[in-house]
Amino acid sequence: MDKVCIAVCCIVALFFLVDYLRCRHGGRSDGKNGGTRKLPPSPPAIPFFGHLHLIENPLHAALSRLAERHGPVFSLRLGSRSAVVVSSPECARECFTENDVCFANRPQFPSQMPATFNGAAIGFTNYGPHWRNLRRIATVHLLSAHRVRNMSGVVSGEVRPMVRRMLRAAAPGGVGVARVQLKRMLFELSHSVLMEAIAQTKATRPEADADTDMSVEAQEFKQVTDELSPLLGAANLWDYLPALRWFDVFGVKRKILAAASKRNAFMRRLIEAERQRMDEDVAGGDGERKSMISVMLALQKTEPEVYTDNTIMNLCVPLFAAGTDTTAMTIEWAMSLLLNHPETLKKAQVEIDTYVGNSRLISVDDMPHLIYLQCIISETLRLYPAAPLLLPHESSMDCKISGYHISSGTILLVNVVAIHRDPIVWEEPSKFKPERFEDGKYDGLLMIPFGMGRRKCPGETLALQIIGLVLGTLIQCFDWDRLDDAEVDMTQGSGLTNPKAVPLEAICKPREAMRDVLQKLL
């Protein structure tokens, strides 16, 4: 037994020695194939864990600090996985132009498999025929510019209940002031917009619910996703330290599977409900206003082997999950910035009054003419992108970034915040200056809040439409003030997205100039 223990200890010691020497190597060069490869610089690592000890929240800020010491391209070893971090516009362009195919894959993380249909969902599947098929369906049939434009009625139909709630909160008749927490209202609105666009759920909206304007289905789906999201966060160390998968003492795996199964069953019910509704609709309905599910069910009748129920789920669940939180978050950041810059808020209000007037609510047709509002949205996305790091990519072959060798299977992390605030590129990069986008001075500079290249988010047009209509309506309908005239806290939270650490609360008052329009909403 003593000899066995000694042998085990020797093996463990040898493992740590090899791992330590690999950490000390620092990634500067190697001598494979008789040559020398220039590898990205790397911080000091520790055995087994690599650089996991350097991972802090918010992650993009921790990576920005590392980039200040190691440069715009550096490597990390995250347990058993290798990663490269890119923090400059030039390097990001290189990744998504000449190396775009190389980095078109996604890392397949074990903890995410149950939640992403075993890696088949559109945002998580690897580059190949399956992804190309999903991307084609999304861009041609679901999220084309023409279809998104026809969804404007859905957005407007969900904005009105939110405004109505705020008016009622202001006092009977909507003539007082109200203290509102925008986060919940904005989340419910974006949640309902996407649920209506995907599954046509307005028919079952509760008639009188003081707490929410979400449909019954939207509330149920929110409950399921709220249950699943923290479980994924609790399990993500498995992706980098495989040994931990054997010690699931809290039953996280089982809970993830149960929550994902509940979500999938809910989506199948939505698909069946839409299929039944289509069968009962003899006239065929309005093709331009059909839900995303009904569009794909119609295609399923002609090509059942392509447009399967699984394909519908692989598309709709990620679009829904990705769009809800990020859209609401961007509007909340925009309102926070405007409250800290009341002169900008007033300028936007004057622009809307001048072009739209006070006899109707803002519409999607007004958006191209509201130049300053578009500048505010662009500056918000520059400073506070909803995804401060792009979803991870993975190299499918050896390649080079900025002259550094990147091996196949390396995770690519792109620091969007660092790129958007690069002082070499942007004048006063940390300041909120929407005017910087007015004269075209910054046209052509890299802005990637929705990603870049083949894996760019297909929902960008819909997201911008929702953000523009909702933000424009809030500015048009209400006068806004900060609580106790205190600066809005702009501290960023943590996570894959970019939430505010302190949810926005503000004072709103219905605008006298909009009284007649607002009275009709009550």
Per-residue pLDDT tens over the stretch 180-196: 999 888 988 998 898 88
Say if residue 174's pLDDT is above 70.
no
* Pairing, β 81-86 against β 411-414: parallel
Q: Which of the four pLDDT bands, split at 50, 70 and 90, describes residue 440?
A: confident
Say if residue 98's pLDDT is above 70.
yes
Cα pseudo-dihedral 305, 309, 314, 319, rounded to 10? 120
> Which DSSP helix (H) or strand (E) runs through 182?
helix 182-199
Q: pLDDT tens across 292-310, in order?
A: 999 999 999 999 999 999 9
Percent of all residues in the chain with a pLDDT value above 70, rounded to a whole number: 88
Compute CA distances 84 → 63, 67, 81, 399, whole Å: 11, 11, 10, 12
Between residues 244 and 408, the one the model is more confident about: 408
Compute CA distances 334 → 254, 264, 378, 460, 500, whole Å: 39, 34, 10, 17, 11
Q: pLDDT tens across 52-80, in order?
A: 999 888 999 999 999 999 999 999 999 99
Between residues 517 and 206, the one the model is more confident about: 517
pLDDT recorded at residue 25: 44
Q: pLDDT tens across 372-421, in order?
A: 999 999 999 999 999 999 999 999 999 999 999 999 999 999 999 999 99
pLDDT recorded at residue 46: 93
Q: pLDDT tens across 34-47, in order?
A: 457 899 999 999 99
Mean pLDDT over 204-222 rounds to 66
pLDDT recorded at residue 253: 84
Q: Which of the four pLDDT bands, split at 50, 70 and 90, describes residue 281?
A: confident
Say if residue 103's pLDDT is above 70.
yes
Nearest in space to 433 (alpha carbons), one of 373, 376, 351: 376
Tokens (6 digits) for 35: 């040559």
CA dist., res. 385 & res. 284, Å (int): 40
pTM: 0.90
204 within 8 A of 217, measured Cβ to Cβ: yes
Rg value, the chain, Cα: 25
Say if residue 29's pLDDT is above 70.
no
pLDDT recorded at residue 111: 86
Domain that holds residue 372: 2-519
Q: pLDDT tens across 124-133, in order?
A: 999 999 999 9
pLDDT recorded at residue 19: 45
DSSP, collapsed to helix, strand or coil, labels residue 481 as strand
The amino acid that residue 302 corresponds to is T
pLDDT recorded at residue 230: 76
State how many domains the chain has: 1
The amino acid that residue 191 corresponds to is H
pLDDT recorded at residue 74: 98
457 annotated binding-site participant: yes
Nearest in space to 399 (alpha carbons), one of 101, 20, 88: 101
Say if residue 22's pLDDT is above 50.
no
Between residues 512 and 170, the one the model is more confident about: 512
Tokens (6 digits) for 515: 């009284």
CATH code for the domain of 141: 1.10.630.10
Average pLDDT, the chain: 87
